[in-house]
Structure 1
Amino acid sequence: MGNNSKSLRNSSPHSSRREFIKKTSLGAGAAISAPYVITSNALGADDVPPASDRIVMGGVGIGNMGRGDQGAFLGRKDVQYVAVCDVRTNAREEAKRKVDDKYQNTDCTEYNDFRELMGRTDIDAIHVATPDHWHALMVIEACRNGKDVYCQKPETRTLAEGPAMVQAARRYSRVVSGGSQRVLQDYRKTVEPCWNGELGTIKSINVNVGPLSQDCNLPAETQPDTIDWDLWLGPAPWAPYNKARCDGNFGTSGGSWRSYIDYSGGGMTDWGAHHFGGATFAIDVRELQPEEVVYHEDENYLTFRYPGGKELTHNKPNTGNMVVVGTPGEKIDAKPLPSYKGTGGIYGDFIECVKTREKPFRDIEFGINTVAVSHLGIIAYQLKRSLKWDAAAQQFPDDAEANRFLDRARREPWTL
């Protein structure tokens, strides 16, 4: 992808747009070849911020969660939504209609190839809700092109993609947010007693989630003209078209891309991003990665051990989901509980941080640490043994067999 990357903008995200609006509103429009009309909406009427103060956005992957993400951003007065991208014609056209209906014009541009959208210098931020095998490549490409990114969970398909995404966000000074709204919204009742000190010193938490993804051997079907199948596959191994292979339904046990190894880690990463995210937040290890994964062969469950002694178990027998073990009778001092910035939940948190350049609640590093738990667990179950993990080196020390699972081969030209 490096040869196709656009150079970063040298100016701040809003400067060129603000300068343009300023010039035209002061009568400089005569110097522009085509007429440009400043509407009352553009100037900020009806409680809408002027165009110079709105975040210009586009979306890549506009189906299921992508459709929901688009609606959330499109509904914000401080966002100007200008472009949609999807390799499926029907999804792309529907997304454009939604934007055009909102603004009562036909200005939204649709793209089949995400690189064309990311090359636009007027776009400040994008949201990504493609299948998982595309996430890392798109987030990195967006950062290279000076875009802030809201990326749906699970953020990665492999362990190796995580550090590359964090590095891109930091190198290009981008705001990159993961997309699990459940971490705070669904699990607050688990998180708050832990952070308030009500449970004493926290020892462990259990998560029940699954299954792992599976091989896909679906037969070839006639490929419709309404999908760019080669671009849908992208870095994944070539495979014949089958509608169930690329179906975006939320099932993880077959009949959706979430079910298959080439595109996803199955329920272990899909729902794991939510559950492990809430669990690591509750026991305050979201800034860390486990140092060991213990495989309990007799009962087929895992224990993730963190620096400092806290533990996270997966599918521990006779233990409910999100069950915390503290220290009975002990009460410790409360810690301030991190929360969303701005208004409007996790979407508003991202937009606020685009404006302020703060790290969002689900900063990419937190998302990567969460999904690393899923990937480490998958590898331990596949190898049916315990693993040591060196988070600093991002390797399994002296374990060549396990290190073969760090990444997956990608079709050219889609390399990290």
Structure 2
Amino acid sequence: MKNPRPTTRRTFLKQSAAVAGLSQAPYFVSSSVFAKPNRPAPSDRITVGCIGLGGKGRRNMTEFAKEPDSEVVALCDLDQAHLKLAQETLAGVKGSPTVSKVTRDFREIVSDSGIDAVSIATPDHWHALTTIAAAKAGKDIYCEKPLANSVMEGRAMCEAAQQHKVVLQTGSHERSRSTIRYACELALNGYLGEIHTIRIQMPTDQAHHMQARELVSMPKKQEVPEGFDYDMWLGHTAEVPYYEERCHFWWRFQLAYGGGEMTDRGAHILDIAQMALGKDRSGPVRFEAKGTRNESGLYDAFMDFQFVNTYDNGVKVVGDNSGPRGLELIGSDGKIFIAIHGGKLTADPVSLLDINLAKEDYILGRSPGHFRNFLDCVKSREEPVATGEFGHRTSTICHLNNIAMITGRTLEWDPEREVVLNDPEANGMLLPKMRHPWSI
């Protein structure tokens, strides 16, 4: 690279600061703004209630249980088998469990005055309802990615967190990796030259993808297992027959409950693209996408896809379902590939990775770990590294790519007003129909 700090660097920073305030910057707020009479003192332990205890929920529960200043005191899941396994898992982590509440109703968790924060790892279609209820009850919230299962649900979640002055952290943990933050700093400070393209790779060739592809007919009629509240699991979605293949891990391949690979991995990979571009509080203005999915059967999420997202500055994010999983930041003076998950960096030229940032460069800062960052922010009342707003903006990109594939049309998007400018039908897909009695 001829010039490790090209002239475009200062221009980029000046424009970013003027237009977006370098939107991905840590946002510090005085703790007095968020003061609550019943908020625990910083020296006290943070009590955590865990809602949703499938595989990811149990892993999150374990992470919170390991932290010296947090205590998992309540467990919630609609499946009795999950609750039993979570209790056994927690006992192995803590030695002597401190759980005082085990329930199948999340409302018992959020209404408990003895709980400071909640971890939400339900299927995606339950993120909004549980998060909004928790925010109204004054709980700080760690919610898994994608933040929401629709654009308007995500906005409602962010508004609830802001209105009730609670911390909302999205579980996009790749943001906490130091290598990834360094790569984004190189991009933000112009060391790659002018970024013109970001290449996104989200392969759909793992065993679970293959299983989903092979289910091309509807499963046979099944009885709801004892101990599983299936009607509550459906929540605001349509009343439909129970199939084992519909629930638990497999919900992610059905658009009523998740968004397929586009939201499952896109919530990680597209999130880093947003951070690298300094667009955390905004997003693309045009969405072009095409994809294929099963014509019959239970799973209607797109398994093969190509998309192009264009930002107002002309940068294009180009992606498909090929591998290896990750993203490549491509600039006029070099490029960096970021592996997801793991955060390994590969650069061309390789000397990019030897750059020491200058004193006057913009620094993202480092996270002590995603769960640790959340707990620290519960105490300090600072904004976490993956705020609800950041998570909402990323999940919005994922949902609009899916909507573009469903409609087969290019969408012109206003990221400030959050409306589709050229397609009334697509606008109608920003919020799903909700079955009584649930609503946001």
Indicate whether the TM-score tops 0.5. yes
Aligned partner of 1:338 in structure 2 is 364
Q: What is the TM-score with the length of structure 2 in the denominator? A: 0.75
Separation in structure 1 between the aligned mates of residue 316 and residue 405 of structure 2, nearest angstrom = 18
Written as runs of structure 1 = structure 2, the 5 A alignment for 1:345-384 is 345-384=369-408
Aligned partner of 1:277 in structure 2 is 271
Task: Report whether the alignment pairs 1:180 with 2:206.
Answer: no
Aligned partner of 2:26 in structure 1 is none
Amino acid at match of 1:352: D
Aligned partner of 1:242 in structure 2 is 243
Task: Report whether the alignment pairs 1:122 with 2:114.
Answer: yes
Q: How many residues align?
A: 364
Separation in structure 2 between the aligned mates of residue 204 and residue 216 of structure 1, nearest angstrom = 39
Separation in structure 1 between the aligned mates of residue 363 and residue 232 of structure 2, nearest angstrom = 42
Write out per-residue CA displacement over residues 107-131 of structure 1, whole angstroms, 9 at most, x where no aligned residue. Answer: 4310110001110011110000000
Aligned in 2, Cα 1:280/1:237: closer, same or farther, shift over 3 Å? Answer: same
Aligned partner of 1:309 in structure 2 is 314
Aligned partner of 2:435 in structure 1 is 411
Amino acid at match of 2:258: S
Write out per-residue CA displacement over residues 160-187 of structure 1, whole angstroms, 9 at most, x where no aligned residue. Answer: 1111111001000010000011234274
Separation in structure 1 between the aligned mates of residue 86 and residue 305 of structure 2, nearest angstrom = 44
Aligned in 2, Cα 1:367/1:318: closer, same or farther, shift over 3 Å? Answer: closer
Matched-pair contact (CA < 8 Å) for 2:53–2:121 = yes
Written as runs of structure 1 = structure 2, the 5 A alignment for 1:6-405 is 11-14=36-39, 53-100=44-91, 102=94, 104=96, 107-185=99-177, 187-188=180-181, 190-209=183-202, 217-248=218-249, 256-295=250-289, 301-315=306-320, 321-328=326-333, 335-341=361-367, 343=368, 345-405=369-429
The structure, 1 or 2, with the larger RCO (C-alpha pairs under 8 Å, 6+ apart) is 2
Displacement of 1:69: 0.3
**Which stretches in structure 1 are left out of the alignment for 5+ residues?**
1-8, 19-48, 249-255
Aligned partner of 2:15 in structure 1 is none
Separation in structure 2 between the aligned mates of residue 279 and residue 415 of structure 1, nearest angstrom = 32
Displacement of 1:190: 4.1
Displacement of 1:362: 0.3
Amino acid at match of 1:239: V
User: 1:225 aligns to what SS in structure 2?
Assistant: coil
User: 1:155 aligns to what SS in structure 2?
Assistant: coil
Aligned partner of 2:349 in structure 1 is none
Separation in structure 2 between the aligned mates of residue 282 and residue 106 of structure 1, nearest angstrom = 41
Amino acid at match of 1:238: E
Separation in structure 1 between the aligned mates of residue 328 and residue 98 of structure 2, nearest angstrom = 51
Displacement of 1:399: 2.0
Matched-pair contact (CA < 8 Å) for 1:100–1:108 = no
Report the identity percentage: 32
User: 1:194 aligns to what SS in structure 2?
Assistant: helix
Matched-pair contact (CA < 8 Å) for 2:202–2:322 = no
Write out per-residue CA displacement over residues 206-265 of structure 1, whole angstroms, 9 at most, x where no aligned residue. Answer: 1122669999943321111121111111112112221121132xxxxxxx1111111100
Separation in structure 1 between the aligned mates of residue 60 and residue 256 of structure 2, nearest angstrom = 24
Separation in structure 2 between the aligned mates of residue 325 and residue 357 of structure 1, nearest angstrom = 36
**Which stretches in structure 2 are left out of the alignment for 5+ residues?**
1-33, 292-303, 336-351
Amino acid at match of 2:320: N
| CA RMSD between the two structures | 3.1
Aligned in 2, Cα 1:386/1:106: closer, same or farther, shift over 3 Å? Answer: closer
Displacement of 1:321: 4.5
Separation in structure 2 between the aligned mates of residue 77 and residue 193 of structure 1, nearest angstrom = 34
Matched-pair contact (CA < 8 Å) for 1:96–1:108 = no
Amino acid at match of 1:280: Q
Matched-pair contact (CA < 8 Å) for 2:185–2:362 = no
Matched-pair contact (CA < 8 Å) for 1:202–1:325 = yes
Separation in structure 1 between the aligned mates of residue 85 and residue 307 of structure 2, nearest angstrom = 44
Moved over 6 A (4+): 210-216, 316-320, 329-334
Displacement of 1:335: 3.9
Aligned in 2, Cα 1:367/1:86: closer, same or farther, shift over 3 Å? Answer: same
Write out per-residue CA displacement over residues 126-170 of structure 1, whole angstroms, 9 at most, x where no aligned residue. Answer: 000000000011111100000000001111111111111110010
Matched-pair contact (CA < 8 Å) for 2:72–2:98 = no
Q: What is the TM-score with the length of structure 1 in the denominator? A: 0.79
Amino acid at match of 2:398: S
Matched-pair contact (CA < 8 Å) for 1:302–1:316 = no
Aligned in 2, Cα 1:237/1:148: closer, same or farther, shift over 3 Å? Answer: same
